[in-house]
Amino acid sequence: METRKVDLHSHTNLSDGFYSTEELIYKAKDVGIEILSITDHDSVNAIEEATSIGREVGIEIIPGVEISSDLRGIEVHILGYFIDINNKELEHYLMFFREERKIRASRIVDKLNQLGLEITLEDVMKIAKNSAVGRPHIAQALLANELVGSYQEAFNKYIKNGGPAYEKKVHLSPQSAFKIISDAGGLSFIAHPGNMSQNLIKELIDAGADGIEVIHPSHSKDLIRFYRGIVNEYFLLESGGSDFHGGKRNDEDNFGKHYTSQIVVEAMRSRLMRNSA
């Protein structure tokens, strides 16, 4: 049986990844990935370029996106695959989420200022440029301004969930995220459920998730087996990847090491065909 290295979770610098679309694809090539999904937060802006570079270097690109949702205060990331990147509603929502991210970044900066740290939204946007701005950019700006000793310290001291400068993103229910994705012709997956309770996962399945991200660097072998069991029990799809971002995260080793198989992608395609029949 032919097995190809398939990574269905990665980020470029159009969200909070370190590498440009082109750099990411060349890196994927280096580590032997043959099918890659770019799943930027709240953006599909990398996909068109990725598809054409992928064609040149022999890597198949699956259009993807990662949307943050909120279930009773718990942040739940949803991955969308095979979305039509030209879908107007999708484009509209993603643009709105990116705008909201900017507003939230300024709220975080305000909190940091109140804590006595000298940082401006401009410092953050200099790093984020026109990408979907997130806490990783703020952490980098804090580091650049020498207000923390490391990227991780920025999270630990200030911006981790519940930290003194933490601010939530816009409230979007998982159901709404599923609808945005399915209306754009895609399939929805519960991203890295590693720290979710079983009840929460069941609730998300009942709410309409098409699948679960089974393979992720944060999942132990036992967890992978456990999620695969749930996928089979509920007739869901599975997905998997490295969630590679690069840069200050020190996750270079994950790329090419945490991957899934072509069978998983074929199962997604058949589900989509069946849905549209």
Chain residues binding Fe ion by CB under 5 A are 66, 77, 191, 243
Choose the stretch contacting ligand AMP; rule: CB under 6 A; options: 31-39, 134-142, 186-194, 204-212: 134-142
CB 215 to Zn ion: min, Å: 17
Q: Which residue has the tokens 């609808």?
A: 179
Q: Which of 63, 80, 136, 174 binds ligand AMP (CB under 6 A)?
A: 136
The amino acid at residue 148 is V
Long-range pairs, 17-21, Cβ under 8 A, ≥24: 17/244, 17/245, 17/246, 17/247, 18/245, 18/246, 18/247, 18/248, 18/249, 19/246, 19/247, 21/46, 21/49, 21/50, 21/53
Nearer to Fe ion, 33 or 191 (CB): 191
Whose tokens are 């879908």? That residue is 87
Compute the least distance from the CB of residue 66 to ligand AMP, in Å: 9
Cβ-based nearer residue to ligand AMP, 34 or 252: 252
Question: Residue 77 gets which letter from DSSP?
Answer: E
Which strand (E) or helix (H) includes residue 212? strand 211-215
Site for Zn ion, residues 13 to 52, rule: CB under 5 A:
16
Q: Among all chains, which residue has been given the structure tokens 């060349």?
A: 26
41 binds ligand AMP (CB under 6 A): yes
CB of 251 to ligand AMP, least distance (A): 9
Residues 148 to 207 in contact with ligand AMP, rule: CB under 6 A = 152, 155, 160
Q: Hunting for tokens 């997604």 — which residue is that?
A: 268
Q: Report what 160 binds from Fe ion, ligand AMP, Zn ion, none; CB cut-off 5-8 Å by kind.
A: ligand AMP
Write out the residues near ligand AMP by the rule CB under 6 A.
41, 68, 134-136, 152, 155, 160
